Chains A and B, each alone.
Chain A
């Protein structure tokens, strides 16, 4: 079992507190669906950070946690689409719901290549949206430049997801210990970037 260092615990605690702040204050003023999506996404960041703090990194390898982890980018991207690309709201809602359903089914029914491929596709689309959309909105002048920090958060959490996926490969680029030592810092920085970025809305 991996041993969390005190610094890991502090970073995971801080990640949860930042996410709690965002749920309480950071998403006021958004529409009902966007608020629900952001609440689910940041709520899951809070819970995953604190449950990891309690149980250790192994919990991130549980199939249930893998499915719930997919909800984080889906929730964030859905909130962004609903708020800033309202024309695509319905189609993306259907994509998110179907994506989650297929991930859940494949993860339990046929874990393996199909399950991994589904996660890559759904996670990938959601991740690209979180990365591209805030950047586009900032650069096009629709929102302040600071909002592009949400893209940075998306990039960082995408990196965390990539590192976690290395754990499943036969010849990982980094050792398991190295990946786990990087994760708390990445989670904290990503959440911080999200929270600060959303302040510019």
Chain B
């Protein structure tokens, strides 16, 4: 079977291709890409318009490896939960396309390479990258995710580490702008995660994972989402102001933030599956757009 497949695909044998695809899907490229973009924007917010391409690419490589590593380790640890959820049952580990041992080795390798590379770049940068990995894998995934819905706060803290690391690498210290950027991401994460957990509430219930909707109710969750969206928008606005963003870009940021708040309030007042899904998708678009704004502002 494998031999016949090999004859059809002349360059890469089918088995290797499938294995590579399985490894690639373990790093959740979209989510990793979004977090990576925050790290790069944090760095560029300090260093542009003078571009240091080697430093930028080096930081990108280190962050990509560390974020991917923590993602793989999450999936390795949560493989039993993934198997119970319809949405995740097709992932390489529950579907049997990768062995747990191979996934663990892969996750550890990526993490060690990412943190090691970060150490070569800068000590403070490395400490923040390591903190992000530690909070994500140990505190969020292993310790709290199966115990309390509040684990989302720690997920948020780890999510804010790439942008803080990037900013700290750019300015050589942890400054208030970096903290505001990290807070903005921290408060954005509940919007992202809680809308998602409402979309797939049956799946989470089946797997026995405590989520805000299941423990506090959907209405309370929508309130948390609305308040977190407001806090994220305020954090982003204060950081943008601190960076010295021009009025033109601030106006665009205000428009984008108004969209986030409008959807969050709409989800509160007229809850529906559509609005919830829209808020989930828009939140990602919002984060990507605001990162692009930060970069565009300092690169102009």
Contacts and interface: CB of A to CB of B under 8 A. Distances in A.
Interface in A44-79: 46-47, 50-51, 54-55, 58-59, 64
A47 B255 contact: yes
A58 B252 CA distance: 26
A25 B282 contact: no
Contact of B278 (A24, A25, A43, A54): A54
Interface stretch (B5-13, B40-48, B125-133, B258-266): B258-266
Contacts, number: 49
B282 A23 contact: no
A54 B282 contact: yes
Interface string A97-127: 0000000000000000000000000000000
B54 interface: no
A39 interface: yes
B196 interface: no
B52 interface: no
B252 A64 contact: no
A64 B266 contact: yes
Contact of B259 (A23, A28, A47, A64): A47
Interface residues of A, number: 17
Contacts of A189: none
A42 B258 CA distance: 13
B139 to A, nearest CB: 32
Query: What does DSSP make chain B's interface, helix, strand, loop or mixed?
Result: helix
A4 interface: no
B248 interface: yes
Interface in B238-274: 248-249, 251-252, 254-256, 258-259, 262-263, 266, 270, 274
B262 A23 contact: no
Contacts of B278: 51, 54-55, 59
A90 B91 CA distance: 62
Nearest to A20: B252
Nearest to A39: B251
A43 B263 CA distance: 15
Given A47-B258, A47-B262, A51-B259, A24 B285 contact: no
Contacts of B147: none
Given A50-B285, A55-B274, A24 B251 contact: yes
B116 to A, nearest CB: 38
Given A43-B258, A50-B259, A23 B281 contact: no
Contacts of A47: 255, 258-259, 262
Given A23-B252, A24-B249, A54 B258 contact: no
A39 to B, nearest CB: 5
B248 A51 contact: no
B117 interface: no
Nearest to A36: B251
Contacts of B258: 43, 47
B285 A23 contact: no
A64 B249 CA distance: 27
Interface of B: 248-249, 251-252, 254-256, 258-259, 262-263, 266, 270, 274, 277-278, 281-282, 285, 289
8 contacts: A24-B252, A46-B252, A47-B258, A47-B262, A50-B285, A51-B278, A51-B282, A54-B282
Q: 3 shortest A-B CB distances, which residue pairs? A: A43-B255, A24-B248, A47-B259
